[in-house]
Chains A and B, each alone.
Chain A
Amino acid sequence: MTETETKSLQAKTKKEVTTPAEQTKPGAVFYPAVDILETERELTLLADLPGVKAKDLKIDLDDNVLTLTADETPLEGSGEKDIFREYRTGRYYRQFSLSDTIDQSKIEAVLKEGVLRLTLPKVEAATPRKITVKAGQ
């Protein structure tokens, strides 16, 4: 799975949420790009949330549905006039449904340099155990 040569990045317009769950705030809503990976012990979710401060990120877990809502803080000063804009800012929103094997009390979230790392540990019972099979006599 490791790539040895570095490929060059392609510009991508943010994917806009087309059927957002009821939004009360006006403005554009985007799907953040995510990676979700699973090991025996935990699920890890990485999300690109540029422009989001920790206080504006809401992680909500209800009935095994994980909801991320994050508002971008516009950085433009009041005296600045647009010359051109290629990307838009607004809100990020995405929902995931989790299996019930997540230990919801041990979820950890770290937001750094616009990247969220959410660690979702599985409950003990769900981690596979080696079962030794004895040959019958």
Chain B
Amino acid sequence: MILRRFSDWPSFDLRSPFDELERMRRELDRLSGDFTGSVFRLPSAGVFPLVNVTEDPDNYYVRAELPGVKTDELGISVTGDTLTLSGERKLPEENEKASYHRREREAGSFSRVISLPSRLNVDKVKAHAEDGVLTVVLPKAESAKPRQIAVKSS
């Protein structure tokens, strides 16, 4: 009976304000999607290192420019769908009598967590560094790979 009474209410009284809100929310989602959906995005607030993330059907590739960082000084760990990069950039000691004209390169520690769009095959993650650029290859979990489904005609 209660249900019956609810549906007896004039629909515009109760529903229209929420409909309007819902419509606005969807509109905002669409707008923000236009920004976040673009390929180039601004670095998230001050988190080092900046990364470029790409994918092919089998893997995700995370790349970061880390000049002068040795691979054995890097910590790379993977769980579920997240990759954590941490380490320290050390600048070798220079002659202490030297005087600096410019000092723009920075040393310090860093740690960054990157979420990937789907689960990863954590056992098969590989990483290598080349000319100061780190590449982490993260194979997608079997369940996350796109699958071709054959349609049989009866």
Contacts and interface: CB of A to CB of B under 8 A. Distances in A.
Interface of A: 1, 6-13, 33-40, 44, 46, 48-53, 73, 75-77, 79-88, 113-115
B78 interface: no
Contacts of A115: 67-68, 132
B102 A34 contact: yes
B102 A6 contact: no
A80 B58 CA distance: 10
B19 interface: no
Interface in B47-106: 47-57, 60-61, 63, 65-70, 88-89, 91, 94-106
A12 B108 CA distance: 13
A86 B67 contact: no
21 contacts: A7-B109, A10-B48, A11-B50, A33-B104, A35-B102, A37-B94, A37-B99, A37-B101, A48-B67, A51-B132, A52-B131, A76-B54, A76-B63, A82-B53, A84-B39, A84-B40, A85-B40, A86-B51, A113-B69, A113-B70, A114-B132
Contact of A50 (B40, B47, B56, B132): B132
Given A9-B48, A11-B43, A113 B53 contact: no
Given A9-B89, A9-B109, A85 B133 contact: no
B41 to A, nearest CB: 5
A87 B47 CA distance: 12
B70 A82 contact: no
A120 to B, nearest CB: 12
A8 B108 contact: yes
Contact of A80 (B54, B68, B95, B96): B54
Q: Nearest 7 pairs between A and B by C-beta?
A: A114-B132, A114-B67, A50-B132, A50-B65, A80-B54, A9-B108, A86-B50
Interface of B: 39-44, 46-57, 60-61, 63, 65-70, 88-89, 91, 94-111, 117, 129-133, 135
Contacts of A35: 91, 100, 102-105
A12 B62 CA distance: 18
B100 A36 contact: yes
Given A33-B105, A34-B102, A114 B68 contact: yes
A73 B39 CA distance: 20
Contacts of A36: 100-102
B146 to A, nearest CB: 12
